[in-house]
Amino acid sequence: MGFEAWITLAVVAVMFVAMARGLAHPAPAILGAVVALLVAGVIDAKQAFAGFSNAAPITVAALYVLARAVEDTGALRPMIAAALGRTEGQRAGILRIGLPAAAASAFLNNTPIVAMLMRPVSELAEARNVSPSRFLMPLSFAVILGGVVTTIGTSTNLVVSGLLENAGQAPLGLFEITHVGLPMALIGIVLIAVLTPWLLPERVTPRRNLASADRDFVVRMIVDPAGAIAGRTVEAAGLRHLEGVFLVEVERDGDPIAPVAPTTLLRAGDHLLFVGQARTILDLRNREGLISAESPHLADIETPEHRFVEAVIGAGSPLLGQTPKQVGFRGRYQAAIVGIHREGQPVVAKLGEVKLRVGDTLLLLADPSFRERWRDRSDFLVITPLDGEPPGALVMSPKGWLAIGTAAAVVLVAGSGLLPILEASLLGAIGLVATGTISARAARDSVEIDVLIVIAASFGIGAAIEESGLATVLGREIVELFSGAGWRFVLLGLVLATVTLTEFISNNAAAALMFPIAMATAEHVGGDPRAFAIAVAVSASASFLTPIGYQTNTMVYGPGGYRFSDYARLGAPLTVVSVLVVVLTA
């Protein structure tokens, strides 16, 4: 292996570790790696930045606009209402929700599909006295499976299509991967429906905690030195028999006093730890003699104008590793943190001093415009109202038919070969803005710039792996490992490597890393390079083992009340079946 290959391997390894350990977000990590390889002379400027002139990121941007128009006009709401209204039983419910969601995901960005469905699916489950955890993870897995049915189903497919074009081959046709993706999706969704009641535990979700009387939310208050209860006992202060809330601990000078007896004397400055219904926080805040430990965090939060919302922290959030106190959460977001859920459990700590992690679900008391202000920002992966009427309920707006008609036209034009996917999607996006179906500002905000940077920069990584000879070396190693076993076993090794990689870094990055290796491997065994490329595209999206491997998995992680290991329970058999389908059909 030459010097340039060693440099490439070292840079890629550092990039991998940085992303896998959460030290850097995918966009700066991949772009930084490309710049390092450019400076080291492994690739030239044309190779490093070829992705920025490729059709893939532009196509993804146009499809984001299309998906946003469908979401804003409620074009999928009739489908949602029909699926949810007829659902009976868990397995039937998963099929009725999963199959239409997967079908929509084959042509639209899967993130807004999950965002639209999370609340109605959760409410349906609650109405039937079933934990939403039985439906939300299957929903995420279903849209992932739907995304591999067509080339526009996920950005990863378009990355591989662009890499093929960059390598001098024709880009993937709209339905060129369907012979692999469709059986994988159908078998996978049926398997999810069958296995979920057996393998996926019922978890108590934040939504259930908010509505129930269970003592699952933590509130810290301070005895006001100037208040009426300082110097009185717990019982005399009226804190003994509170409705829906329970005083579990008194913290004095850093030392806990628990259990708290009715005769415990309260002193000025004592921290009182209450556990109970989240809504009782307002009653405690208005109680004479108590002040919030999070002040001024809860200042000016009043019931009539504010609502409870769920906000999930994603992998790209600037809040990661920060505490609410450090970022000045209340002033920055005009919202109060009522509770933090992590791994299906409430965090028992001073909320302002909790370091936030990927998948944390914040229960917020916020004004009605909170979701609109932050929905297109990276701070929160998904924002879902928990009380009050859902915006627009399940009714489609008058321009919904125009949005869904445009989406159908894009699919028909691109699928028939009349226009390439790029031109069809751009015309669709422009038409939606021109007709006022979506505003120019909403169209701009819908495009996730970080994703486009990851896609474009990935081309430079792929070029370096190929140009340095690293792809040839690794491809030869895979072939030798399965020598004599046949090309499908070689393909199996490639697919397993891709599936493993995509659980630790973004699926786009995994596809970019494995693509040149797949091309070199196909050449070694005399296989069809397009079949190997399709196998990489589909495998890079088969992320079912962790909540951080795919964005929709992270979206449902906190709201579903899941633990990290829950994903492997259901995801492991689904991964095995997916790998086998890819190897047998590619």
Task: Identify whether 124 is part of a domain.
Answer: yes
Give the pLDDT of residue 85.
65
Q: How far is CA 62 from the centre of its chain?
A: 20
Give the pLDDT of residue 389.
47
User: How many domains is the chain partitioned into structurally?
Assistant: 2
pLDDT at 214 over 60: no
Asked whether residue 224 falls in the same domain as residue 319, the answer is yes
Asked whether residue 193 falls in the same domain as residue 215, the answer is no
Identify the residue with better confidence: 62 or 258. 62
Task: Tell me which residue range forms the domain holding 419.
Answer: 57-203+400-449
Give yes or no for a contact between 506 and 454, defined as CB atoms under 8 angstroms apart.
yes
Q: pLDDT, tens digit, for every residue of 256-303?
A: 787 788 889 999 989 887 776 555 555 676 678 888 776 544 445 444
Task: Identify whether 86 is part of a domain.
Answer: yes
pLDDT > 70: percent of the chain:
90
Q: pLDDT, tens digit, for every residue of 156-207?
A: 999 999 999 988 899 999 999 999 999 999 999 999 999 999 999 888 776 6
Confidence of residue 344 (pLDDT cuts 50, 70, 90): confident
Asked whether residue 304 falls in the same domain as residue 335, the answer is yes
pLDDT at 87 over 60: no
pLDDT at 211 over 80: no
Asked whether residue 91 falls in the same domain as residue 136, the answer is yes
Q: How many angstroms separate the CA atoms of 94 and 344, rounded?
A: 21
Q: pLDDT, tens digit, for every residue of 523-558?
A: 888 889 999 999 999 999 999 998 888 889 988 988
Distances, alpha carbon 4 to alpha carbons 49, 164, 460, 510, in Å:
19, 23, 14, 21
Place of tokens 């998948």: 359
Encoded amino acid at 98, one letter: G
Asked whether residue 259 falls in the same domain as residue 310, the answer is yes
Nearest alpha-carbon partner for 551 in 97, 67, 147: 147
Give yes or no for a contact between 437 and 426, defined as CB atoms under 8 angstroms apart.
no
Task: Identify whether 194 is part of a domain.
Answer: yes
Give the pLDDT of residue 373.
86
Nearest alpha-carbon partner for 80 in 104, 97, 63: 97
Asked whether residue 229 falls in the same domain as residue 367, the answer is yes
pTM, 2 dp? 0.77
Task: Identify whether 243 is part of a domain.
Answer: yes
Average pLDDT score, the chain? 85
Give the pLDDT of residue 71.
84
Task: Identify whether 367 is part of a domain.
Answer: yes
Identify the residue with better confidence: 367 or 444. 444
Give yes or no for a contact between 112 and 70, defined as CB atoms under 8 angstroms apart.
yes
Give yes or no for a contact between 73 and 437, defined as CB atoms under 8 angstroms apart.
yes
Task: Identify whether 337 is part of a domain.
Answer: yes
Asked whether residue 152 falls in the same domain as residue 231, the answer is no
Asked whether residue 212 falls in the same domain as residue 333, the answer is yes
Q: What is the mean pLDDT of residues 508-519?
A: 91
Angle (nearest 5°) at CA 297 between 295 and 301: 105
Q: How many angstroms separate the CA atoms of 245 and 247, rounded?
A: 7
Give the pLDDT of residue 547.
87
Give yes or no for a contact between 428 and 406, defined as CB atoms under 8 angstroms apart.
yes
Q: What is the mean pLDDT of residues 102-123?
A: 86
Give the pLDDT of residue 355.
92
Asked whether residue 249 falls in the same domain as residue 329, the answer is yes
Give the pLDDT of residue 306.
66
Reported residue count of the chain is 586
Q: What is the CATH number of the domain that holds 354?
A: 3.30.70.1450
Asked whether residue 132 falls in the same domain as residue 280, the answer is no
Asked whether residue 159 falls in the same domain as residue 233, the answer is no
Residue that finishes a domain, picked among 385, 414, 431: 385
Give the pLDDT of residue 297.
47
Distances, alpha carbon 328 to alpha carbons 131, 181, 334, 377, 390, in Å:
34, 46, 10, 17, 29
Task: Identify whether 266 is part of a domain.
Answer: yes
Q: Is 519 exposed, middle or buried (0-12, 13-18, 19+ CB in 10 A)?
A: buried
Give yes or no for a contact between 340 and 362, defined as CB atoms under 8 angstroms apart.
yes
**Bridge partners of residue 247, in order along the sequence:** 274
Task: Identify whether 340 is part of a domain.
Answer: yes
Q: pLDDT, tens digit, for every residue of 453-506?
A: 989 999 999 899 988 998 888 888 888 887 667 788 999 999 999 999 888 888
Asked whether residue 259 falls in the same domain as residue 361, the answer is yes
Residue that finishes a domain, picked among 356, 385, 414: 385
Q: How many angstroms separate the CA atoms of 403 and 421, rounded?
A: 17
First vs last Cα of the chain: how many Å apart?
30
Q: pLDDT, tens digit, for every residue of 234-259?
A: 888 888 777 667 787 888 887 878 77
pLDDT at 304 over 60: no
Give the pLDDT of residue 451.
86
In sequence order, what are the residues at sequence separation of 6 or more whose Cβ sits closer than 8 angstroms to the Cβ of residue 470? 1, 5, 8, 9, 464, 516
Q: What is the mean pLDDT of residues 11-40?
A: 88
Residue that finishes a domain, picked among 361, 385, 409: 385
In sequence order, what are the residues at sequence separation of 6 or more whose Cβ sits closer than 8 angstroms to the Cβ of residue 419? 413, 427
Neighbours of 231 (CB within 10 A): 13
